[in-house]
Every structure is written in C-alpha cells, then in structure tokens.
Structure 1
Amino acid sequence: MPLNTITDGAIPDTIRALEQWICWREDDRDGKPTKVPIKPYRTSGTPFASATDPRTWRDFETALTYHRESTSRTDGIGFVFDPEAEIVGVDLDNCRDPNSEELELWAANIIDRLDSYTEISPSGTGIHVLVEGELPAGRNRRGDVEVYDRDRFFTVTGAHLSGTPAEVARRQDALLAVHHEFVQTAGEDESTTLTETTAHAASNGAAGVGDDDTPTQPVGPNSGLRRKFGRDPPAVDDPALEAALHGLSPDEIPDPVPRTIDEVAGPGVDLPDSELLRRAMGSKSGDTIQGLLDGDSSLWSGRDSRYPSQSEADMGLCFYIAFWTGGDPERMDRLFRDSGLMREKWDRRHYGNGASYGKVCIARTLLKLDDYYDPPSKSTTESETPTPEEQPPPSVSQPSVDDESAIEHAQRLATEVQQQERELAAQQERIHELEAQVQWYRRLVASLGVDSSEEEAVTPTATDVARSLGSDATTADESEETPGVTDRLRRWLS
C-alpha cells in the first residue's frame, strides 16, 4: 500500500483520544530503510520527535493534519506507547502475502488469540495488533514477533484487518500467554526465526507449496507437529486439520496422526435439528447455548464475561454443537452459520495453507472432543397407544381396582426413571464441559511456565468438581478473590 495512505475512519477511538501521536518518514540509514519519528508540528529546532519525550507528541488530529498539509515530508502518522495508557503493541513481521493477503499459520494463531484491533503495516507484509494490558518483564523480541508498551512507536495506517475487532480490547491473559510462548521462551534453536521454513516439511496437501520447486509451508517453532516429529511430520491432506494440528501441544496430537477431517469426526446423531436444539436448550447449559446461538455479546464483551473474547465464544459454541451433533462437521458448520456468532471471518482464508477460520475452529474442536451426546433409547416402560390389532380380545377381563393401582405405580416409576435418565445425561454433559475447561486451564498454566507438579497440586479433576456440584456448587464463587488465571478458571467453572 502507498506509505501516505491513511484510513483514519477505522482507527479506534481508544487510541485516537490519547495525546501520543507523532509523524514519521522513511529514511535510508546505513543502507537500511528506517522509519524516523518526526514532530507533528512546525518547529524552528530539530524536526525529529522522540518516543521517550512526551513534549514532542501531540493529539491525533494535530498529527494527521500536519502529515496531510505540511510542506515537510512525512510518510504517515505513528502512535507512541506509554505504559500509563496500558496499550501494548504486538508487531508481526514477514507474515502476510500482500498479493494473496494470506497469513502465515503462526501469525494467524497470534491474531486469533489476541482478538483485538489489528491492522496491516505500511509494507503490506506485516501486522500490528493493539491490545489493552500490561506487558510482563522480560525480552521484547524474538524472531519476527515484537511486543512493546513503552519507548517505541507503531506506524498506524487504519488498514483494518478484516474479521478482527474494530476496537482495542483488553486481553491480559492472552497477552501473557503469547508473550511467554512467542517472545520470552527460547525456541529449540535460538537462531531459528518464525519465518524460516521448516526444511523438508511436506506441504500436507496445501496447494502451491511444498513441491520440489516451491518453498515449504512456514510454521512457527512452537508447532505441535514440529515439536513432536521434528522436520518430517506425517502428511495431512486437509488444510484446516493441518492448521489445527500445528496448534496442539505434542501430547495432544492423536496417534496415528489423522489425515482427513472424516478421521476425527464423530458418529453423528440421528435427530432433526429442531429436536436436537430442543434437547440442548433443555440441558443445564441451555441458557449459555441459547445466548451463543443468539450472538449475545455480553458473553464475551465484559471484563467478567464467560468468554474472554468473541473468538473463544466461537470455540465455545463449536464445542456445544459438536457434542450435541455427535461430532458431525457438516452439521456443525450449518448450525454455526445459522447462529448470531456468524461473521465474515468464518469463511475468510485465514491461514497460509489456505484454510479458513471456520473450518479450523471445527477441526480444533473435533481434535479435542472425545465424547458426544448419545440419545437414550426409547424406554419400554413408556405408555403407548396400542394399534387395533393389539387390542385385548373380549374374553380378557378388565383390570381390578388393585390392578389399576399397580398400573399407576408402574407409570410413576417409569416417569421417575425418565427423569433420572435426563438428569444423568445432563450430569454427563456437565462433566465433559468441566473436563474441557480444566484442560484449557492446564494448557494456559503450562504456557505461562508454571511447574506441572504445582499445577496438579492445586488443580481439581473435572470429576472432583462434578461430584461437588450437588453439595458444594457455590464453592468457586465464595472462595477468596484470586487474580489472574485462577480467577479465570473460577469464572469458567461457575
């Protein structure tokens, strides 16, 4: 894109309101193009601004007007990071093809997890993500990933990346996890950057990559497939399944590694959509399922909401409909499209191997889910109206008073059995939901570097939590306030 093109209408109000704006121009320094900060106002002194001197910063309108109208050459405007504003910038370099607009797998992973305002860099080959949060201590860069909350500025184009939020969102947990995984933690080879291709890696069916005369598909050093199999992972035919497998930890990857989505699909459920949804709404999680299907933004937009972002709400709905449809990928896709969560992002080619966001969501769900709704068989104790051929012959005597009492008692027992079956099915569903949530918690704790022995010492099993539902269901809400990840787990289990 031209360097001086700015789509100012897309720039979020969160950063427009801050007086942390400068201009910049690209100069050649020591044979390398460098973006130089420029004061966004007329001055008789040096024209250069400083990312560490607020006196050289101005408000958004002043900087934009100076860029557009000043006779001094500037190539754009920039936002300066100040820790007091709690705005963090995540810079992803060399991750986007400006022609096809496709993203590398590792970059799409980070963008999905942060789920905040994202825009395309001036070159068209990079991505900038802005989030509200506090950056942990430690390094700021590894390979093609940089994170800053001070002493730096981001060029701002307003070229909003389609499918990402239009506003800067608070994503503290996701920011900590991404920083730890992609920046703070050393890879298996410190000299390996995220954009280096995995030598000899198969294309796994992705069109246009991996042939003898084309480069292999780049993947990040934290790819589950790479960490488990090294540089020669098994071939995966389905691009969405391939992208989902890259995002798993090595111990989560199935053995043998599936090649197609059919290999991870479930048995399905032989019920019409209307009846399936009726049963889902009647479960203990029915209110949440209904809210997700309606696209109720309160489920993810507040600080105390059930999901930390809309992307995680997408995954939440995928898990529910996967369970109730028996892991039928086509039916999952159809039901999601009919929901209020459906957005353009679902069909966008979101990954460097051509996979769309929606198909990868489905593949991720099916890889993690191993239990499905199993409709109870029709009880033989249910009262049915006999057909004319089944009517008792005239010679059979009518039931006596005692017989009628026995029949009424049997009917009451049948009703109680059906009620118990429904409650058992609901408890099994809740246990499965808790297991998935505890697994998510453990993965997050592991990504933050907590020792696994410490995690096991404080993390209850899903069965323990489920057993306590009847007698101690309020324990998580009444326990002492604990910030961070533990608080997040409490909200998930409540």
Structure 2
Amino acid sequence: MESGPPDGKLTKLPIDPRTMKEASSTDPATWGTFGASLRRVEDGHAVGVGFVLSADDPYVFVDIDGCRNPSTGLLSGLAEDLVERFTSWTEVSPSGTGLHIIIRGSLPEDTRKKNTEHGIECYDRARYFCVTGCTIRDVDITERQAELDSFSAEFLTREKPTRGGGTAAPIPAGVDAQRIIDRMRRSRSASKIISLLGGSTDAHGGDASSADQALCNHLAFWCDRDPRLIDEIFRSSGLMRPKWDDTRKGKTYGEITISRAVEDCSSTYGWETRQRKPNAEPRILSAGTGGDAETGADLVFGAPIETFRNEHRDAPREMLPDEPDRPRIHFQPFPLDCLCPALAEYAAQVAESIGCCPSMVAVPMLSVLGAAIGASRVVEVKPGFTQYAILWTGTLAESGAGKSPALGAAVGPYYRLEELHHNLHTEDCERIRQAHENLPGDGQS
C-alpha cells in the first residue's frame, strides 16, 4: 500500500518493490518477494505489504466488509460464524472495519466472487490484498476445502435469472459470424466486447473464466441465443484455449458456459425481425454537399439522426435499431514522420497494442507538447503575427475504435509528470512551513 494524496487515505495500489512502479495482480514480472517488500516498508517508501493470489498457490482469500466495530472489536454474527466455521488465519482489514480469512483450498468452478448483500468477497487467483498481520486468533492457515464448498454453496451460488431461458431464434440466411461481429463493433457495448474478443481479462481481475462467461453473455444476445454461432465466434476470439473443450460430467466447459449464457439471456437482438428490404437500406450522404449520394436530393445532415433518436428515445439501449448512416468524410491519416523519431515510434507501438489508428495517439500528443511548451515560446505564424504553442485537437471515430485508450496513452505521461511535480512542490511547501514554524521568536522574518 501507499499513502495517497491529498487526503492521506491508504490506497491499495500494488507496487513492485524492486522498481517502485505500479504492479499488476496478473503479471508475475511485477511481483517481488516478502523480504524486498518489507524492506520498502521499513525504509519508508511504502506503508504496507500485500500478497498476490495466483493459480500456482493453494490459498483462498475471504474478505468480509463492515463486520467489525473498530472501537470495541466486536464482530457481527455472520463474521463470528465464518471465523468459527473456517478456524484459519484471520486478521483485521486495513480499515479496521472488516476481516480477512485465509485458508487452503480452491473455489468451486461455478461460483461468483462477490455477495454484496452480505459484504463478502472470495478469491483464489488474479487478486491482490493487503496484509495487516493484526490477527484475532492464533491459528495458522489451514486446509478447509469442505467448509469452503459449503460456504460457496450458501453465499456464492450464482442466482438464477427471473427472466430469460428462451429458445434460440432462427437466424436468417446471410447473417453469419462476421456480420454479427461487425454489428457488435458498432454497438454501445463495443469497447467491452472488442476487449473480450481480443482476449483481455483485465475487466474481470484476470479471471479468465469470468471473461469467458462475459463474452458468451454478450454473444447470447447478439446471436439470438444460437449456441452454434456463439461457439463459432468464441473460438475465433483471443479467449479461446484448450480448456474450452475439456469434458466435465458429459459436457465440455464451452457447452456449460454457453448454456449458462443462453439461460441468463432475457432478450435478443432479433435478426429475423430486423432484416430490411433491399429498398429500405439507409441512404449514404455525400460529404460536403448535404445531398443523397445516389439521387442528389438535398438532405439536412442532422435531421435523420435526431428524428431517429426521438422515435426511439424510450427503447432499451441494447435494443435500439441500427442508426441511419452518418455522413462519411474521408480524411488523410496523420503523418507520423513529422514527429521526432521517439514520439513517432511511441505512437506506432501504442496504436499497435491497442489496435487503433496511429493518428488517434499522435494527434492528441500535439496538444500535450503544446501544453508542455505553454507560454514559454511563441510561434510566428506570419510576419508580425505570433501565437502561443497551444493547440486544440479532437478525435472523431466510431464507438469501439479505441479513442479513450489512445487518448490515455497520449496524455498519461504528461499527467503523471504533472502529479509528480505537484507532489514535489507540496513537499517543498511543507518543509518551508515547518522551517518557518521552527524559527526563533514569533516566527516572523
């Protein structure tokens, strides 16, 4: 843990004790040893030690929030029951209002990780937690698989949906996996779906099984509960791995995951009812003229979109029909070679890792450079006319194209540097204040 400004509250940001940079609970290269972590605490560079759960260790972490009175130490009835049930290492959480119970075992496959009603979280991998060492009983970490199974059945069983469980709707001819993927990329959930299709488990704390289920839940909606199409698209995703075909009680892991998604799916996209007649396709507007690209008829660019939104204002977000095509304007890509080699290479590498156009990274970088220069220099636009090096830029692209991560990569270094210097300035001010208070006499100088 480290102390987070400006309120001084403890944050649970994992830090690599070797580099003192931000670590990840799913990247072993950023983890350190207990000894190295403890030394960082002892020398004042950190204020706490944490532990990363992984598939390679036998530990399960049970977190109970809001179950302890920090003044009296009294526990809630539920907390007392769980402490007694597990009889394993139990410590007070950093806030003083919760408990950590650590046992040996493994979570059953088909369990959720949180029970918000009772303030319980339970993990056995891809998770980082802070250790206080403030135990409430002298018991070592103990094997408690049987108790964990009963605890999971009582508190972590997935709730059955009150709606859903419908049958697969017929998929019209011409609607294949690629068309469904293309439509998902234009949906309001595009960023989440694209991330899952790419194999990312970050949004699920590195839990690959949770990511599998999340992707299948999306696919159940877009594939109209068709198991064959769900399976086909999943197999083409970055989440696909041998486990998908592992057999369990007569069914594969993939079949079980798809079945659960179909059962939980309360509504579908409805490809059959959305099939348009050939003459009902939306018109494509030609850029710069405001007219129909085919007939030349005059059209107002904003009107079709606004009419569409007004007609469907009360519709559920996922159930909105396709919006009419917007005006299509073709722009030239930003020339990376106008940047210095280091920035051009950075923009290209970031764009490749995100899967976006390099222009989305390069253009906001110009604004960052202008902000860094500020009023320290002026640019002579033409003889007698100068401007500060301030440049306003914007990125226009379809939903899911990667605008947000590209912008974050472009401005992130600037914000981190700004925060660093702000903290250094704050420390300098505090030292000056303390020195001023220690002056002899009334402190006036």
Q: TM-score range by the shorter chain?
A: 0.3 to 0.5
Higher RCO (CA < 8 A, seq sep 6+): 1
TM-score by length of 1: 0.30
Normalised by the length of structure 2, the TM-score is: 0.33
